[in-house]
Structure formats: C-alpha cells, structure tokens
Structure 1
Amino acid sequence: MFRNQYDTDVTTWSPAGRLFQVEYAMEAVKQGSAAVGLRSRTHVVLAAVNKAASDLSSHQRKVFKVDDHVGVAIAGLTADGRVLSRYLRNECINHSFVYEAPLPVGRLVVRLADKAQVCTQRSWKRPYGVGLLVAGLDESGAHLYYNCPSGNYFEYQAFAIGSRSQAAKTYLERRFESFDKYSSEELIKDALFAIKETLQGEKLTSSICTVAIVGVGEPFHIIDQQAVQEMIEAIEAREEAPAEPAEPAEPAGDIQDEGNQDAAPMEI
C-alpha cells in the first residue's frame, strides 16, 4: 500500500512546499458538520448543525459560550474544539481578573491563532483539526472571525464552514451587503436559511441545529429550541404560501378613444 513519505510529522516539507499534516487538519474541518456565522452592526449570530451519530446517542455540542461577550461555533474534531474553547475561557477570565474589563475580541482571536500556529512548527505536536467561528462584541462593535488550523484568521461579514458549506456561502454571498442593517430576528432567519442550504433537501428542525446570538444589550446565549422551531415553521409557511394571482389585463380591443374613433391606424 502506497504511503506518503512526507506526512510522517508536521515539520516535513514536501518537494512542492506543502505541509500535509496541516492540509489534513484543514480537510477535517471540511468533513465536519456545517457551522454558519452572520454579523450586523449590533449583533452576531452563530448556527451549527448537530445531528446525532446514532439514534441511540445524543448529539455533540457545536456551539460554546466563552464569555458574556464571546462565543464560538466549531466544525471538525469536537474534542479539539472543546480544548480550544476552554483555552479561550481561561484567557477571558485572566484578562478580566487583571484588568477588570472584557478581553477585546480581536486580541483573543490573535492568541488563539498563535496557539494553533505553534502546532504547525513542532514535530511532536499535530495541528488542531477544528475550525472556529468566533463571534463577539466589544467597544469597536460586533465581530465575526474564522480561525483556521493553519494559524490563519480572517474577519468576515458572514461565513460558513464544514460539510456542504459552499451552498451556504453561495446563499450568504447574495445577501451579505444588507446584513449591516438587519435586526437580530432577521439575522437568525438568514442563518437558518443558510443552514437549510447545507442539508440538501433534509428537513430542518430545531433538534438538529443550534442557534446562538450576542449583541448590544444581549449577552451571548443559545436560543431556546422551541423559539428556533417556531422560526423554522414560520419560514416554511412563508415558502409554501401560494403567490397572489395577477389581475387579468383588459383586452386592447375593448379600449377605444371616443374622440378618435375614425382615426387612421398607426403605421408600424
């Protein structure tokens, strides 16, 4: 059986200049269940698919609260996601204890990226096989970041990661320009629409997805399943509602100008 001789450890470069262990970690994110993030000026919404692996088991959590102003959604190895979310919690607690103020979201994301990057340059470590969507609110406004296993991080208006996330990205790319003016309810509805795109025909219910929100005057929290289900039913009812029939146009022959009945026809 063929074995790649350049993936024995993370510090072995291939002749093409690639680190296969890092690419494998990024592939693990693509194979994980989908997660979506949307941002307006005042709110950030996270939504994730959390289907159970078996009818006899419960699902694994995909959305974690870090602090009152920060939360994360993950795609990839859930165990790595729990480790990193605990690291983020400790960073927020330590900063709050020392400075008596919440840790800015951008600074927290940089620390997470540095921690992930160290794992790409030590032969006795492996990259974290999980991608994180970090949603937060600080003095500079609402923020949505994506942290990659390679140590890169990017800020987005809206983004999707995980399995079949391209369908959600296509939906978000058509609508992201209006997200700045959205209310929290509109953001949640668009997040559910994007999650529905990743299911490829499977029925969306509150039991297979988790939605969380953080915003001005609203600490990070996971929305109740019953409220999510009501929003899903409202979306489905709107989609199934028949379109109103258009009024029939009056025939042109019945409309005559009484003053010009004897006028010659127009030349075309």
Structure 2
Amino acid sequence: MFRNQYDTDVTTWSPAGRLFQVEYAMEAVKQGSAAIGLRSKTHVVLASVNKSNSDLSSHQRKIFKIDDHIGVAIAGLTADGRVLSRYLRSECINHSFTYEAPLPVGRLVVQLADKAQVCTQRSWKRPYGVGLLVAGLDESGAHLYYNCPSGNYFEYQAFAIGSRSQAAKTYLERKFENFPAASREDLIKDALFAIKETLQGEKLTSSICTVAVLGVGEPFCILDQKTIHEYIEALELKEEEAGDQGATMQEDPSSEAAPMEI
C-alpha cells in the first residue's frame, strides 16, 4: 500500500499503527537548527545555533524569554515556536495575576504538552512542527524539559535537539555526571562545546550562536555577543593548552616507562 494514503490528515492511522503527520512534525524538529540545554542544581543554560539562511538576511531567534524564571529554546518551525512562546507567556501572566506567585515549571510543561496533543486528534489541525527545551527554576530547583510535537514531555539533566544533535548528545552523555555540581561558567562552557560539536568542523563564533542563563538569584537572560565571545576565546585557549600538554608528553622521553631489567 502507498504511504500517502494515510497522511492526508492527522487522525488517519496507517495499518502499522502510525500517524504520519505526527512523524513529519518530529522530522521537522530534526531538520531545525540545533538547540542544547543543560542544568545543575542551581542553574540552567540554553544554547542554540542561529545561522542565517542567506548572507543578505538576518537570523531567526531560537531562544525566548517566557518569564523571569522560565525560558525556552526551539528547533523546527520558528513560526510555530513563536506561537507557543506567546501561549506560555500568557499562561505565566495569568497565573501570576490570579495567584500572585510564579507558575511552577512542571505545571506549565504539562499545559504545553496538552496543547500539542490536541493537535494530534483533530482532523482540521496539524501538529506543531517544533520541539521546545523548557528551562525553569522554581521552589523544587532547576528543571530542563523537552516537549515533543506528539504531546510527550520528558525531564532531562542535559539534552540536545535539532540538526546534527547526536554529536552534542554524545558529548553531554560523557559529561553529564559533572553537571549537578557544576558552576555557572562551567555550564556555559560545556554548552558552547556541545554547540561546537554540532557544527562539524565549522568555526564557532559569537555571531552564529545564542546562549541564555537562568539561576538562583539570576533571572532568565540572554548573554550578549561580547560575553559569548570571551567564553569562546577561553574555551579555545583551554583546548590549545590541552593539545600542547599532550604533544609535550609524547616528545618527553622521561615520560616513557623505563625498560625492565632481566
């Protein structure tokens, strides 16, 4: 049977039990620019690639401030991301006005997941073609969630979405045990290194990436390019020093083990 018989609308199931429109939306997330999130006990860092499609155009924003204690990074259709960002801001404002308290991050993520899931059960709608990394801080600590177009959501210590995100995931999986006790600066450096992994050899500059930080006593803010440039220079200097030390150890004959006497 032809696949396109079952992707005319989102409520048509294939014989294999699949909803192709939902899978198309998830594929749109994989094709989007990479976005990365990682958290410690006190801070959450979001980073994204924001390269422009043309030398004549500007880039599109990939990180949005929702409230002082919540921010999101998106991968996929930016237009859908803006719509969901406005929805999240509205929910935070309404909750703050009604209860005079910030909206808990977990509750907001559930509301977002419910909104996304409704689009998978209405034939006149389509799923949102965007994945969101939601960073938040509330009374229970720092949080990082991933919201999927299917309506699923998961909490992570660190995660990456978007194009070539597997390279960043591999790096985060090697380092994630150090993240809970990591400082703000270390988290930013790890986020930049993970972004660099997704570029596959392309030089990392402050003009093609965005970094945002949220922490205890520090409201959500997007770092300016000058600050990001300083972190990138420190990262490159550290890599050069590590390379020089490795080369010195290989050249130094005293570092080699002495032969055993028989």
TM-score under structure 2 length normalisation: 0.94
Q: Which amino acid aligns with 1:15?
A: P
Report the Cα distance in structure 2 between the residues aligned to 1:249 and 1:44, rounded to whole angstroms.
44
Map 1:221-240 onto structure 2 (within 5 A): 221-240=221-240
Report the Cα distance in structure 1 between the residues aligned to 2:128 and 2:254, rounded to whole angstroms.
64
Q: CA deviation at 1:190?
A: 0.1
- Whether 2:257 is the aligned partner of 1:249: answer no
- Structure 2 counterpart of 1:256: none
Q: Which amino acid aligns with 2:254?
A: A
Q: State the identity %.
A: 83
- Structure 2 counterpart of 1:260: none
CA RMSD in angstroms comes to 1.7
Q: CA deviation at 1:248?
A: 4.2
The higher radius of gyration belongs to 1
Which is worse superposed, 236-245 or 223-232? 236-245
- Listed as ranges, the gaps of 5+ residues in structure 1 are 254-265
Report the number of matched residues: 254
Report the Cα distance in structure 2 between the residues aligned to 1:92 and 1:205, rounded to whole angstroms.
34
- Structure 2 counterpart of 1:219: 219
Q: Which amino acid aligns with 2:24?
A: Y
Report the Cα distance in structure 2 between the residues aligned to 1:42 and 1:235, rounded to whole angstroms.
22
Higher helix share: 2
- Structure 2 counterpart of 1:70: 70
Report the Cα distance in structure 1 between the residues aligned to 2:180 and 2:3, rounded to whole angstroms.
49
SS for the counterpart of 1:4 is helix
Change in CA separation of 1:252 and 1:113 when aligned onto 2, cut-off 3 Å: closer
Q: CA deviation at 1:129?
A: 0.1
Map 1:26-105 onto structure 2 (within 5 A): 26-105=26-105
Report the Cα distance in structure 1 between the residues aligned to 2:72 and 2:225, rounded to whole angstroms.
18
- Structure 2 counterpart of 1:208: 208
Deviations 1:50-105 (A, max 9, x none): 00011011000000000000000000000000000000000000000000000000
- Listed as ranges, the gaps of 5+ residues in structure 2 are none
SS for the counterpart of 2:245 is coil
Q: CA deviation at 1:249?
A: 3.3
Report the Cα distance in structure 2 between the residues aligned to 1:252 and 1:24, rounded to whole angstroms.
61
Report the Cα distance in structure 1 between the residues aligned to 2:132 and 2:206, rounded to whole angstroms.
22
Q: Which amino acid aligns with 2:138?
A: D
Deviations 1:138-187 (A, max 9, x none): 00000000000000000000000000000000000001011000001000
- Structure 2 counterpart of 1:174: 174
